[in-house]
Amino acid sequence: MNPTTEPGTRQVRLYMRMPNPEGRLVGGLFAGGRVIEAVRENATAAAGEGPAPGGPGPGRLCLRHGRAARIPVSTGVIDEEAGVIELIGEIAPGDSLLTGVLPGLKDGVRVRIVQAGGSSAPPQNEVG
């Protein structure tokens, strides 16, 4: 990998060897890619950009047993391309993060998820 970028384009020249049995690849082609800095096996993760602060005080709000629960949680590894974040703290598989603007929602308040049209629904943003 060339240690500098090309002037004007900021592209990086990369030299590599790869199988090309049909001869379809030729020199000078452009490719996209990404560098993976870290991988966490069996991490607790969720889709999205991360938990919203959830109001004053430390931690984030999640849904546990029908109530909002403030738990200490922070983000770890973030995979922006896949839209997945690692959650570090007292979050567990099956907990549902409460995200977005949540004015007045506090720890211990009973929460019921309602779909458009007024029917109750199971939590949508479960942690896995």
Q: What is the extent of the structural domain holding 86?
A: 44-128
In a domain, 22, yes or no: no
Q: How many domains, in total, are found in the chain?
A: 1
Q: What is the pTM of this model?
A: 0.55
Q: How far apart are CA 123 and CA 70, in angstroms?
A: 17
In a domain, 54, yes or no: yes
In a domain, 95, yes or no: yes
Count of CB atoms situated within 10 Å of the CB of 61: 27
| pLDDT digit string, tens, across residues 20-55 | 999 988 887 877 877 788 888 888 888 876 544 444
| pLDDT digit string, tens, across residues 57-104 | 556 788 888 888 888 888 888 888 888 888 888 887 777 887 777 777
